[in-house]
């Protein structure tokens, strides 16, 4: 009898565990505060979480990082619009078998032509008249993409110039949705259509974004929510108070700084808050065309002056992560181990020793306490940029660099950077995918649009190409660390800290899985539900 | 009178024309245009992509052509297309006007309804405890920034009532809307009411020392009649002027209040449009504000005549 009861009980337990869908509730509107006005709704044209977080739920990718996993890893990529994929033997052709019966939000069928059309536009091979994508911040991602060919309505092949193991990871990023070929660019920017779980009902600039459930979503039974209501609330204090008062179910991603986290927990004890690395790092732009920063030794002295601790303590209450160009482990998949990191300039534990070395370099160049090097630190005139710039200015004094803050109207920041109209700049860099290809090709490859300092090093270019083609992950990691080391030694965008910030939500919101190595992924919202 | 009105009308048209030229030129003198910003927002600065957007928006055409196109459109009721949202500018602006108008109206109502009577009380009770209290209150009104006051109100609401009076959903009824807007209106109107109160007080004090007030008192007129019928009417002239000026200044106050209370009005929208160099939105909104200011000034001048029969506008 006892055995039979135990069998029934274990059977029931197994049933309950295996059927989580029974617990989920359908319906409800999720209310989220948005920090600012998204420049447009077209994910491919923008490079900000302000666009991707609300609009990723409108689209699907071919493949996607497993939304149930916190760490985006090349081993955890799952099918989305593609049912399966396969590489040819020499790893240069990636063929996707696509789902059939998928419809765009306007009822038209999704086919392989849409995939071709999207990546033709992204790699600059689209018809001259096509206005699907007007600007393309991630052009460099597809430098190795030679062509996209349609086999049938449900088969599409990406042909690469050489093997590139990370190509699939890039397609799995939130930044890689499939666009509708028949859509107009203007519509994609204001009221886009996708195949995703939510349709755009309304996008009122400076006011709100309303997404409603797509009843024809190809994943049956999903999404659980009826609607997502984003309210654009530019004032952070109002956003936080709104969350505490129950006006919002969730804060904007990584909107909660550590001091604010304390306030929220004090006022709304049941709030679920998760601090996590955002894979956004604070770094210094050193203009190598502006003397004396054309001299490698001055760049080195500058890097040696940095003490990360005050940045971390003041801005993150000690919670930020120390790392080089790649996000450090355990959240980061590719970053170098701590013991290796400490051998890089700017990361040594004995800061005073490093600064003494820096002063020696500066003295050798004719600078001293009485005759300091006078420079300007330019940065966007917003607090998250300005605050670290002020700390940097203070630290530079230790190595005879007298710096002055030069706050730049945020809207013309990159234009100024492109003109090389700065000496030093404080910058933030976010990575769409925790992958060396995106990090290095975007920020350090000599031909990239987003290589803001125009850093040119043929040896680094070669190493970047080499790691990109390396199929063995352990060997590739070693090349990646070598690149990180050389970049740090060259003073190429020296990283100060990797940001960590929190996102909070009401306990009634279930199914939230924040991705720990990129804030730009995992915002499909199809598995989230409200228990109320 | 007829000639005066014609002259005033022509002057209004001339002022608006001057404003249109000024705003059009000034906007283009500010560094960066929408193409810079659109490309910049994507973290790139590709000159080819920028040039394509500039050509698409017609920003590469001669400035005079651009001005004529805008003014011509304005006369035809066509405000053009917003650069950023790529929707007709009228669709972006029109729904926001009533919200800001109601907020500004309520704020002005609060400032007058509080400022004038408190100013009178303060004057007739000069140098009493109540006068001192009201003067301190008005000083605090002048020195407290409205965004700070707004945040204090929000914090207090969350702390004491567990709710936050911000604009997240469209109010269901007119009453709901008035209730929702009255808190930010009070925050923004507090400063104006303080100013109006101080001006009413000083103006009243001056008038109360006039001979005709003494005569009225000696004729046995009641205190209320002296204060409100004889003194206030004459003391109101400078107050009406300041109310007119404050009506124009309220737009500045609304920018901050709309941001703190998350009200989707035109003031916040205007600032956003300026940041994005969304010329069609900025030009049309500034012209609207200019029109309102010019009209209010005209109405204030007309009010002088109603308040003081001695004032005549010569033909």
**pLDDT number for residue A20:** 47
Residues 41-100 of B with CB under 8 A from A: 41-46, 49, 52-53, 56, 82, 84-87, 92
**What b/e string do you get for B272-301 counting C-beta neighbours within 10 Å, with b at 16 or more?**
bbbebbbbbbbbbbbbebbeebbebbbebb
Q: Read off the tokens for B92.
A: 């972006």
Average pLDDT of the residues of chain A:
92
The C-alpha angle with vertex B39 and arms to B35 and B41, in degrees rounded to 5, equals 115
What dihedral do alpha carbons B16, B20, B22, B24 form, nearest 10°?
Answer: 170
Torsions phi, psi of A79, nearest 5?
-65, 150
Q: For residue A105, which of A20, A250, A213, A264 has the smallest C-alpha distance? A: A213
List, for residues A436-451, the tens digit of each pLDDT value: 999 999 999 998 888 9
**pLDDT number for residue A125:** 86
Tell me the chain B residues in contact with residue A411 when contact means C-beta distances shorter than 8 Å: 32, 36-37, 40-41, 275-277
B268 touches chain A (CB under 8 A): yes
Tell me the chain B residues in contact with residue A238 when contact means C-beta distances shorter than 8 Å: 151, 154, 164, 166, 259-262
**pLDDT number for residue B45:** 61
Lowest mean pLDDT among A287-291, A408-412, B257-261: A408-412
Percent helix, strand and coil across chain A, each rounded to 5?
35, 20, 45
Q: For residue B283, which of B50, B9, B28 has the smallest C-alpha distance? A: B28
List, for residues A251-269, the tens digit of each pLDDT value: 999 999 999 999 999 999 9
Alpha-carbon distance A119 to A110, whole Å?
15
B282 close to B23: Cβ distance less than 8 angstroms: yes
List, for residues A452-504, the tens digit of each pLDDT value: 898 999 999 999 999 999 999 999 999 999 999 999 999 999 999 999 999 99
What's the predicted TM-score (pTM) here?
0.88
Burial class (CB in 10 A: 0-12, 13-18, 19+), A419: exposed
Which of the residues in chain B have pLDDT under 50?
none
- Which among B53, B162, B268 has the least Cβ separation from residue A134? B53
Q: Name the region of A254 (left: φ>0; alpha: ψ -120 to 50; beta: rest).
A: left
**pLDDT number for residue B30:** 85
Alpha-carbon distance A484 to A480, whole Å?
6
**pLDDT number for residue A15:** 44
pLDDT at A7 over 80: no
Residue with tokens 């029934």: A8
Band the pLDDT of A141: cuts 50, 70, 90: very high
User: Min CA distance, A414 vs chain B (Å)?
Assistant: 5
Alpha-carbon distance B264 to A209, whole Å?
13
- Residue A260, SS3 per DSSP: helix
Instruction: Compute how many other C-beta atoms are within 10 angstroms of the C-beta atom of residue B105.
Output: 14
Q: What is each CA distance from A204 to A255, B2, B85, B100, in whole angstroms?
A: 22, 46, 9, 16
């Amino acid at each position: 009898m006892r055995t039979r009861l135990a069998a029934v009980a274990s059977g029931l337990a197994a049933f309950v565990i295996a059927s989580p869908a029974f617990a989920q509730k359908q319906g409800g509107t999720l209310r989220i505060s948005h920090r600012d006005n998204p420049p447009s709704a077209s994910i491919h044209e923008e490079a900000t979480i302000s666009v991707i977080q609300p609009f990723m739920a409108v689209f699907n990718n071919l493949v996607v990082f497993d939304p149930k996993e916190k760490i985006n890893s090349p081993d955890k990529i799952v099918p989305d619009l593609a049912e399966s994929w396969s590489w040819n033997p020499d790893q240069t052709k990636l063929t996707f078998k696509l789902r059939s019966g998928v419809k765009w939000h306007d009822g038209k069928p999704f086919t392989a032509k849409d995939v071709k059309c999207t990546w033709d536009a992204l790699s600059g091979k689209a018809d001259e008249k096509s206005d699907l994508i007007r600007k393309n911040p991630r052009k460099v991602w597809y430098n190795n993409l030679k062509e996209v060919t349609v086999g049938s309505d449900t088969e599409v092949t990406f042909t690469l110039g050489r093997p590139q193991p990370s190509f699939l990871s890039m397609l799995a990023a939130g930044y890689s949705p499939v666009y509708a070929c028949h859509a107009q660019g203007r519509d994609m920017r204001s009221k886009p259509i996708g195949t995703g779980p939510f349709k755009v009902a309304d996008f009122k600039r400076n006011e709100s974004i309303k997404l409603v459930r797509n009843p024809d979503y190809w994943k049956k039974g999903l999404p659980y929510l009826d609607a997502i209501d984003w309210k654009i609330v530019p004032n952070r204090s109002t956003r936080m108070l709104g969350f505490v008062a129950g006006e919002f179910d969730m804060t904007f991603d990584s909107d909660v700084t550590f001091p604010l986290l304390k306030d929220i927990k004090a006022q709304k004890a049941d709030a679920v808050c998760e601090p996590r690395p955002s894979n956004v790092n604070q770094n210094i732009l050193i203009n190598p065309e502006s003397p004396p920063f054309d001299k490698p030794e001055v760049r080195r002295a500058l890097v040696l002056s940095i003490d990360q601790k005050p940045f971390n303590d003041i801005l993150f209450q000690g919670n930020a992560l120390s790392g080089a160009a790649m996000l450090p482990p355990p959240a980061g998949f590719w970053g170098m181990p701590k013991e290796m990191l400490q051998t890089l300039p700017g990361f040594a534990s004995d800061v005073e020793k490093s600064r003494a070395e820096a002063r020696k370099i500066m003295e050798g160049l004719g600078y001293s306490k009485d005759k300091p090097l006078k420079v300007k630190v330019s940065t966007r005139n917003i607090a998250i940029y300005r605050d670290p710039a002020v700390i940097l200015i203070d630290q530079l004094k230790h190595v005879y660099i007298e710096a002055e803050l030069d706050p730049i109207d945020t809207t013309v920041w990159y234009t100024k950077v492109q003109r090389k109209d700065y000496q030093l700049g404080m910058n933030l860099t976010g990575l769409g995918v925790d992958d060396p290809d995106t990090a290095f090709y975007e920020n350090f490859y000599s031909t990239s649009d987003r290589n803001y300092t125009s850093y040119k090093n043929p040896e680094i270019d070669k190493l970047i190409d080499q790691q990109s083609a390396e199929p063995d992950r352990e060997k590739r990691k070693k090349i990646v660390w070598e690149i990180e080391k050389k970049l740090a030694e060259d003073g190429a965008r020296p990283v100060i800290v990797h940001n960590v910030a929190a996102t909070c939500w009401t306990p009634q919101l279930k199914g939230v899985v924040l991705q720990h190595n990129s804030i730009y992924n995992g915002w499909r919202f199809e598995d989230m539900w409200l228990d109320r | 009178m007829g000639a005066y009105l014609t002259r005033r009308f022509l002057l209004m048209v001339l002022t608006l024309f001057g404003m249109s030229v000024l705003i059009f030129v000034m906007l283009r003198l500010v560094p960066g245009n929408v193409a810079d910003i659109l490309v910049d927002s994507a973290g790139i600065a590709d000159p080819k992509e920028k040039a394509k957007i500039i050509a698409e928006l017609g920003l590469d055409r001669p400035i005079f052509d651009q001005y004529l196109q805008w003014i011509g459109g304005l006369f035809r009721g066509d405000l053009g297309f917003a650069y950023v949202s790529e929707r007709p500018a009228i669709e972006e602006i029109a729904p926001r006007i009533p919200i800001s108008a109601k907020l500004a109206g309520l704020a002005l109502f609060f400032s007058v309804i509080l400022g004038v009577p408190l100013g009178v009380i303060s004057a007739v009770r000069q140098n009493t405890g109540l006068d001192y209290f009201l003067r301190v209150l008005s000083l605090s009104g002048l020195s407290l920034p409205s965004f700070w006051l707004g945040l204090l109100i929000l914090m207090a609401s969350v702390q004491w009532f567990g709710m936050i009076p911000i604009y997240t959903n469209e109010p269901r009824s007119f009453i709901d809307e008035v209730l929702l807007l009255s808190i930010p209106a009070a925050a923004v109107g507090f400063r104006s009411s303080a100013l109006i109160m101080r001006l009413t007080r000083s103006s009243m004090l001056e008038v109360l020392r006039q001979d005709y007030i003494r005569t009225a008192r000696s004729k046995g007129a009641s205190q209320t009649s002296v204060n409100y019928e004889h003194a206030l009417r004459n003391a109101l002239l400078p107050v009406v002027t300041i109310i007119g000026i404050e009506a124009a200044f309220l737009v500045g106050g609304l920018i901050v209040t709309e941001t703190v209370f998350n009200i989707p009005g035109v003031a916040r929208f205007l600032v956003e449009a300026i940041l994005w160099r969304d010329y069609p939105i900025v030009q049309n909104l500034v012209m609207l504000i200019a029109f309102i200011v010019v009209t209010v000034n005209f109405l204030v001048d007309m009010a002088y005549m109603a308040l003081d029969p001695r004032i005549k506008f010569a033909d």
